[in-house]
Amino acid sequence: MNSQLKLSRLDKLNFDNRFARELPGDPETINRRRQVLGACYSSVLPIKAPQPQMVAYSKEAAELLDLTPEDCESDYFTQIFSGTRLAAGMYPYATCYGGHQFGNWAGQLGDGRAINLGEIVNQRGERWVLQLKGAGPTPYSRTADGLAVLRSSVREFLCSEAMFHLGVPTTRALSLILTGDEVIRDMFYTGNPQAEPGAVVCRVAPSFTRFGNFQIFAARRDTGLLQKLLDYTIRTDFPHLGEPSKEVYITWFEEVCRRTAGMIVHWQRVGFVHGVMNTDNMSILGLTIDYGPYGWLENYDPHWTPNTTDAAEHRYRYGNQPQIAFWNLGQLGNAIYPLIEEVEPLQKAMNAYAETFEQGWQNMIAGKLGLNAYKPETDDELTAELITVLQLVETDMTIFYRNLAKLDNRIDPDNSSEEMLMAPIGEAYYVPEQLTGEYKTRMSNWLRRYIKRTQADGMPNEIRQQKMNAFNPKYVLRNYMAQLAIDKAEQGDFSLVNELLELLRHPYDEQPGKEGFAAKRPDWARQRAGCSTLSCSS
């Protein structure tokens, strides 16, 4: 009886599947790699996992789908979200899109290893798309196998949920399941392929539509299908804008620009580096999507990128993310131009990106520094000097901002020693030998100016600390932490995956006994594969 209850709850998910119902699909049903023309998606079945095994699930993501822990811990759940079985109402498909990769048009890309199981409408009327990553090939897989390995799947699962709890707009992750397959991967494309455990992540989002979904039809000059997709997107994901029209298309584009700006501000706030900001990895909802070779800015180096493929140009480096998002939005604007045929309103919408980002960045900096509000007349110079000084020596970004809150602004800055001023931030430095007298003097001078600035605000010290701690996380998913969890999981021990999942549910809290996860990256992780840089291999 208990098993039947579990099965019936999963089979009673309210699948709406509007995307597949209202947009044209691929008439060819054979799952072979090809150019797909005149269609927004192709129907495709996930492959069955020979021996699916649950690694972890997110109770918060499950609640979005009206699922209980009992549901998630059932064997039926594991079979469904490994791709082995389909629940009632599911209609699996892969979507067609193109994109610019590293600044170059790449033509058709599409869901090469992602299969949408369908869209549900939950009890609160919210629409959620369920998508398996790593469940087999699709017509868009090109030369790949459509599978994913445990290594990359652990990283995607943990980071999706970590970003949510950090307050960063993101797609979600419901579950991480081993398939029982061995998947061949060459991690750094060095000619040394190895067998790795296969895994599937179930991703969840209101929509997985990307800039590239519009770009592919514009590139093919299929204006009719371009308009159908945009009309569908507005009616489904932006219904508050009203019925589609030329004016609404412009309003929609401006909203995408503003949402994207908000997302990038959050990335910069927490030190997240996406690593692969191709246009096919940009969500029209302003959500962080596709967690591949991402990383967290540990040493404050704005030129750093975690992606080995980007090692020469550093196109997707931390400091360049705001500009890349703007460039990508320009490509989306070009894609919908045939429906508007005016440059000026599109340019105005992109100006809204710049304005939204600038205002958001100022508010973000004010929050990180514990200020009432950002005042350009004083704070432009204050923040410019801080960013410069942070780059002079190897400084941990997360620890620096978190510990800056510990600096007591009730002291007299002019009569405080360098040692007293720098004591709260001492844990942020990786190489103490770099702290020369000249550096200490410069940083101390900045700290004196900072204290005077906060004193001018009149904010009580305790309130300032609380504000800063709400903007500056104590815990982020450092690459070495994910790698330690991967190492254990590959040996069949999933305890650290679940421990990190729990830790990252409360990134702004102190969490006694967990302080080791808030420490600097250990020296052994400085150059280790998976801890410093990564490739797109999965």
Nearest in space to 454 (alpha carbons), one of 492, 486, 407 = 407
Which neighbouring-strand residues pair with 395? 429
Which neighbouring-strand residues pair with 185? 194
Identity of the residue numbered 80: I
Side-chain half-sphere exposure of 175, counting CA atoms within 13 A: 30
Nearest in space to 131 (alpha carbons), one of 44, 11, 258, 69 = 44
Say which residues have a Cβ less than 8 Å from residue 16's Cβ, sequence separation at least 6: 118, 119, 120, 121, 127
Distance CA 287, CA 159 (A): 13
Q: Are 99 and 210 in contact (CB under 8 A)?
A: yes
Say which residues have a Cβ less than 8 Å from residue 1's Cβ, sequence separation at least 6: none
Q: Are 302 and 317 in contact (CB under 8 A)?
A: yes
Alpha helices in 296-396 (DSSP H): 321-336, 344-369, 376-390
Identified catalytic residue from 71, 280, 290, 396: 280
What secondary structure letter does DSSP report for 25? B
CA distances from 183 to 55, 189, 290 (A): 17, 15, 20
- Taking phi over 0 as left and psi of -120 to 50 as alpha, with beta for the rest, 438 belongs to alpha
The pair of structure tokens assigned to 311 is 């090692």
Does residue 11 have an active-site annotation?
no
Q: Are 240 and 313 in contact (CB under 8 A)?
A: no
Nearest in space to 533 (alpha carbons), one of 338, 355, 295 = 295
Q: Are 477 and 159 in contact (CB under 8 A)?
A: yes
Q: What are the residue numbers of the active site?
A: 280
